[in-house]
Structures are given as C-alpha cells and as structure tokens.
Amino acid sequence: MKNLISNIKDSLQPIDEINGFKVRPGFYLINGATAIRNGVNFTIHSFSATYCELLLFRKDESDPYAVLPFPDSYRIGNTFSMIVFDINIEELEYVYRMDGPYDKKKGLIFNKQHYLLDPYARAVTGQAEWGVKRKQKKNMYRARVVDDTFDWGDCPQPHLRFRDLIIYELHVRGFTYDISSGVKEKRRGTFAGVKEKIPYIKKLGVNAVELMPIFEFDEMEDVRVVDGVTLYNYWGYNTVGFFAPNTGYTSEREHNHEGRELKTLIKELHENGIEVILDVVFNHTAEGDERGPVFSFKGIDNNIYYLLTPDGHYYNFSGCGNSLNCNHPIVHQFILDCLRHWVIDYRVDGFRFDLAAIMGRNEDGSPMKNPPILEALAFDPILGKVKLIAEAWDAGGLYQVGSFPAWKRWAEWNGKYRDDLRCFLKGDGGMAKNAVMRITGSRDLYNPDHRGNNASVNFITCHDGFTLYDLYAYNEKHNEKNGWNNTDGDNCNNSWNCGIEGETDDPTVLALRKRLRKNAFATLMCSRGAAMFLAGDEFCNTQFGNNNAYCQDNITSWLDWTRLEQYKDMFDFCRFMISFRMAHNVIRRKTKQATCGYPDISVHNGSPWNENFSNDTRLIGIMYSGRTTDDTEDDMILILINTFWENLHMTLPNLPGGFTWNIAMDTWFDHEEGTDYNKLTERHDNNLVVKPRSVIILNSVRNDAAQRMGQ
C-alpha cells in the first residue's frame, strides 16, 4: 500500500483549504500518519466520536501551530482521513482531539480538551532521553511521522525449529548499561549496546534473544524516590505506543527515522543465526483505571478498547488498572495490524504475550473457549512462521498452562515446569514423578495429538522472580528497596538458601549452591521443549534477593559483568551444556527409533527400567534413545538426578553390543574444558555412585571410542 501511495502521490492535488492549509481526503485504509512527497496522509477511526481534529506542533512548543478539523466529507463510516499538503515531517509533531457523547456508566468519556496520541503512531516524541520528564504538560504524548525505509538486503531469517530454541531473555537497558559491560559509553543500555554483545551471545551458544518490552513506554510513569534512590517504571510493561520502538533505547537520535537502530540489531542477529522474540503487552495499557491519564484509547473509544464493568468501571485482570478488550473486532484488528507491522517492518521472529490469558476473555471478562483473536493470530498468513508464546495466566486468577487455546500454533511459558523442577531440585519429597513428566516434555499438559510438539517453553528463571544465583541464596524475597515494605513480588519462590540467607563465606554452603545452580541448568538443557533462561544466569548475576525488580534502574537490575570472570566456571559449564544439547537430537525431539529397539523415552530410577515412584524418590534416571543427527548410528543419553543429601547408587541399563556408557558431565566436580569425568566419578562396572545433590549425564559411545578416551 505504501508503494501504491508512492506511485500516485505526485498526481495528488489539494481540493480544499482548512485554516490556511491545503488538504484533500486521504487514504482511508492506511492507518496512522504516512509521509508522501508533498504532504502527509493522516487516518484515524472512532466508532462513537462525532468530531475529530488534527493538531500540528513544532518540536518543544506547547501550543499547536495548526488546528485542522476533519470536514464531514472527509469521514467514511467511522474513519477520518485527510492529506495535508506542504508540511515538513522533520518539523512536525501531531495529536488528535475528539468529541462525542459523555456517559461514564456506558464507558463514554469524550472530552475535546484531551490531546490524543495516534494508536498507530510509528514514533512517540519526548521519550528519547531516558529518565527525563517531558517538557510538555503532563500526559501529553505526541506522535511523529517516520520515514521508515530500511535496506534488509538478502539477509534471510533463521526460521529455527521451535524445539531447537535456546532463548536468552534480556532487558535492553539492563543488559549493557553498567560500565562493566565493556560497551562503548554512548551505546550502553541501547539496541547498539546489545549489538556489540552479539559475539558474546553467539559464543554462549543461544540462538534466540527474547527482548523485554521495547514498544514505546514511559519510564517516568509513577516515578518516585525511595531512600534517596529514584525508582522508574524500568521493565516497561506499560505500553504507550504499540507501533513505536522505545526511543530511550537508542544510542543516536533517530529523528523521523525511529526504528533504524533496532532494525540494524535485528539484521545482525539474523546474520549470526539468532532469532528475535519480542515480549509484547496486549493485556493492558499505560492509561490505567479511572485515576489514570487519558491520552489515547480512552479518548478515542473507551468502551471498545477496554473491558468495562456494567457500571462503566475498568476490569483489572492485569493488576495494572485496566484490561484490553482484545476480542472486540476493532481491538482484534488493531492487535493483528500491530503484529504484522513488527513482522513486516522489523522482521521479528516471534512474540511472547504477557498475561496472555486476558486475550482470551470475553467482553464481560469471562474466558472464551475459542477466542477470535487467538485463532486469528494462529492462522494469519503474515504471522505464519513466527513463534507465538503465551504467558498462559493473568492477575485475575485465570491459569491456563496446558489448556491455552492453541490450534497447534501457540506455545506456552510452562509455569508448571518451573514450579515442579524448583521443588524437586531442592529436595522436596513427592516431586519425582512430576519432575520426570516435566523433563520429558510435559506430555500430561501438551498431548502431541492436540498441541503438536512445539507447545512447551521450559524455564526455571525469568525476569519475574529470582535469578538462578538468588534461587539458591535466598529463602525469602528482599524487595524492601522497591518501597512497598516488601509486600510486592511473589511470596512462593520454591527457593532454598542452602542454610544461610544471602551472601556467605561458608565454603560448604558455597559449594552446594554452585552445584545446585549447575544441576538446574543441566536439567533445563536436557528437557524436551524449547529452553529459556535469564540473561546473566550464566555468570551468576544477582539481584540481591529482589524478586520483583521492575522499578530498579540500577545495579540491582543491571547485569554486573565483573561476575563473568568471577564465575567463569559457571559460564563454561553453561556453554558446554548448550553445546551438548545441540549435539544430541534425541534430547530435543523424537528421532527414528534406535536399532537396538529401546523406546524414545524410558525411566530408570536407581535401577534399569524402574518406573516406580514414592514420596521418598530422589534419584531419577531418564534415558533418551534414537538416532544421531546424521542418522549414522544409535544415540542414547541418560540423565541421572540425585536431590538427596547422601550418596545414591545407580545401576546403569545395558547398552547394545559395541557400545558403552561415557560420563559426559558430573556436577559434583568443577567443570573445565577437557575434564574426564570417567576418571573422577566413582564407578564399578555398571554401577555408579551419584553424589549428594548432583547431576550426571551419560551418552553412549562405541567401544573403540571409549578405549581411545582411556576407559
């Protein structure tokens, strides 16, 4: 459509004049503001508005230099569209004002005094300098027209198989803002800073980055000072502009070219075989509830964009004041347009939907069996190859892990994997059976016949909660610095401090914590389903026990890269485990059956083929069997996990003739490249001693290979 405009724009001529500006009816199917050679096409729609006007501003000026009412003849249906000629986009900022009925009980709150941000704005002004209050009056967001041309060349997208994903969740600012990141000062905390770290990301071995919210948000929303420290809306789960990248994440001002630095980052990640997944928030907006500002949707069609109670108040299934009415046809179309924009213009590879259960609610707040928006995203041709990942719960109590409407397209953050594995790995009783089920693909939740084989994103840590280091250093959350008297954040972390709360010099406690961290990461890498972990876990980054660091724009949330050297053994271990996972297809998926006839997955709890569980079962064995990646021979992987505080003994299952078991890794010992665990681990023929709270991974090797390795 943009090319169509480009081809015919020279022939367009004004036919009217409004307040000294030459105008004509615009392109009604092109939402937002689109530059043409001799003007700008402005289009916006409202179901209930009776009047609309366009306001034009110059940068940093409080008052508009032009107010252009849309004539009745410039409205078709509920859509207002107008081309304004002879205006320079480099000098231009714009908003709308609308008028219409006012009846709060019906959710109609039109007020001609409100300046309204274009929902389809490609750039939001006044946001580029992080942590600085806008010069304009409160709640006055303006849009800018963007020249979004970008040469993607012939760089292909990776299109990785879902089961092969190793997802690295990161916050763009926190990833490189600390000086220890080594990123050039001007690029710290920006898209360009992440780009500088691509060699590191590639060296680690991950093949997908999941960026926490990068849609335009206002970090100054609810800014406050606690004990002398300024607290911001740092995470960014308070979207202001859904089509606009966060200009506070750029190292250079991109006036009228917003998005270029992000596109450059995505292009280079793709060139290195790394996919980009965006964490998107379609469950609520930054307008909040009745006490919140009116700057966009509320002033355009409040009773359409938000879920409202019968008396006109806001349903708050998000915990953030309001909930988007995702299954209304207008909101449905808006979300679809938005995601298509990020796939077409930014070549994004996937989306993780925050509190996605809200997207399945009806207009009365009740869950829908087949939500239209979720079905539409599943079958949309533009989104046909992108990953769709749901956080399958919301703050209103709707929990859909394992039951999220999917059409074999939607995957889920597997919250039950996180919870069950945390409990089992710290030694809780009665969790062994659940742990085996989670590690082997959560088949009780994701029946392949109904969900396909791409449903589970396994994780033990994410941005919301403890880091991996803190998971084994704290029994309790320590969120006092957030200013809410430690009442915020989850109270149920399933964590264990190993006997001492927080930092310690006790060598026994430190050794145990190190082992537990490695146990968790090794288990994650040996689980069926996509794997995800939090950036910094690979070098023991800490948030000092804060499990809800949403407001901490400081070293609490920034990665401390000095720990990369301090905990180099953990980094090397993570690299090894990622490499091991990628080298063995049988871990990630069902392959051709092994010629020896062993099943794809089998359980060996202490002895071969023992599938019995009791409340005291704390040694589990899981064997994957199949064929190697090149289909040249059988491949067997055996994972042994001992969560008991004493030695436990494992009799290894027999391998077919010509093969023997090789110990690839044992977390009881420090990991260094080239470590021969076969010489370190206590083994008597086919009997293995699994040390307390440790994980051993074995793989099948041919006898001649075993002899060369010195077994």
pLDDT at 70 (0 to 100): 98
Q: Is the pLDDT of residue 629 over 90?
A: no
Tell me the angle at which helices 415-425 and 507-525 cross, rounded to the nearest 10 degrees: 140
Q: Is the pLDDT of residue 9 over 80?
A: no
Q: pLDDT tens-digit profile of 592-620?
A: 999 999 999 999 999 999 999 999 999 99
Of 6-15, 29-38, 222-231, 369-378, which range is least confident?
Answer: 6-15
Res 300 pLDDT > 70: yes
pLDDT digits (tens, 9 = 90+) for 442-455: 999 998 888 877 89
Q: What is the DSSP string of 586-633?
A: HHHS--SPPTT---SEEE-SSSTT-----TT--EEEEEEEEE-TTSSS
In the prediction, which pLDDT does 132 show? Answer: 83
pLDDT band at 630 (very low <50, low <70, confident <90, very high): confident
pLDDT at 654: 94
**Confidence band of 580 (pLDDT split at 50, 70, 90):** very high
Residues 618 and 643 sit within 8 Å (Cβ to Cβ): yes
| Bridge partners (DSSP) listed for residue 45 | 79
> In this structure, are residues 219 and 553 in contact, taking their beta carbons and an 8 Å threshold?
yes
Residue percentage of the chain with pLDDT more than 90:
89
pLDDT at 706: 55
Catalytic: 394?
A: no
196 annotated active-site: no
Residues 6+ apart with CB under 8 A from 442: 402, 414, 416, 417, 455, 456, 529
- Is the pLDDT score of 135 beyond 80? no
* DSSP assignment string, 2-48: HHHHHHHGGG----EEETTEEEEE--TTS-EEEEETTEEEEEEE-SS
Task: Write the pLDDT tens digit of every residue in 221-240.
Answer: 889 999 999 999 999 999 99
Cα-flanking dihedrals φ and ψ of residue 492, to 5°?
-115, 90
pLDDT band at 631 (very low <50, low <70, confident <90, very high): confident
- For the cut 60, the answer to whether the pLDDT of residue 1 exceeds it is no
Confidence of residue 708 (pLDDT cuts 50, 70, 90): low
CA 468 vs. chain centroid, Å, equals 17
Say how far apart CA 271 and CA 654 lie, in whole Å: 44
Q: For 70-85, write each residue's pLDDT tens digit.
A: 999 999 999 999 999 9
Q: What share of the chain is helix, strand, coil (3-state, %, to 5)?
A: 25, 25, 50
Q: Is the pLDDT of residue 8 over 60?
A: no
Give the pLDDT mean for 325-334.
98
Task: Please write the tens of the pLDDT for every residue from 546-568.
Answer: 999 999 999 999 999 999 999 99
Rounded to 5 degrees, φ, ψ at 262 are -65, -45
CB atoms within 10 A of CB 563: 19
Return all residues near 520 (Cβ < 8 A) that are at least 6 apart: 421, 425, 460, 468, 471
Exposed, middle or buried: residue 180 (CB in 10 Å: 0-12, 13-18, 19+)? middle
| Kind of pairing between the strands at 208-211 and 215-217 | unpaired
139 pLDDT tier (thresholds 50, 70, 90): low
**292: β partners:** none
Q: Does the global pTM surpass 0.85?
A: yes
- What are the pLDDT digits (tens) for 186-196? 999 999 999 99
Task: Read off the pLDDT of each residue in 131-146 and give the average, rounded to a whole number.
Answer: 78
Report the residue count for the chain: 711
Neighbours of 86 (CB within 10 A): 10
pLDDT tier for residue 140 given thresholds of 50, 70 and 90? confident
At residue 26, does pLDDT exceed 70?
yes
Q: Pick the catalytic residue: 275, 391, 428, 464?
A: 391
Stretch 535-545: mean pLDDT: 98
Q: At what angle do helices 568-583 and 507-525 cross, to 10 degrees?
A: 20
Collect all residues with Cβ–Cβ distance below 8 Å to 667 and sequence separation of at least 6.
515, 518, 519, 522, 694, 695, 696
610-638 mean pLDDT: 95
* Token digits of residue 421: 């594995």
pLDDT at 544: 98
Output the CA–CA distances (angstroms, integers) from residue 594 to 599, 627, 662, in the order listed: 8, 6, 18
* DSSP states of 462-526: -SSS--HHHHTT-SS---GGGTSTT-SS-S------TTSSS----HHHHHHHHHHHHHHHHHHHT
pLDDT at residue number 591? 93
Catalytic residue (one of 93, 118, 148, 354):
354
Residues 121-131, mean pLDDT to the nearest whole number: 91
410-442 pLDDT per residue, tens: 999 999 999 999 999 999 999 999 999 999 999
Tell me what the pLDDT averaged over the chain comes to. Answer: 95
DSSP letters for 208-241: EEEE---EEE-TTTT-EEETTEEE---S--SEEE
> How do residues 460-476 score in pLDDT, each as one tens digit?
999 999 999 999 999 99
pLDDT exceeds cutoff 70 at 137? no
Q: Kindly report, residue by residue over 282-294, the tens digit of the pLDDT.
A: 999 999 999 999 9
**How far is 265 from 197, CA to CA, in rounded Å?**
10
pLDDT 10s digits, 159-199: 999 999 999 999 999 999 999 999 999 999 999 999 999 99
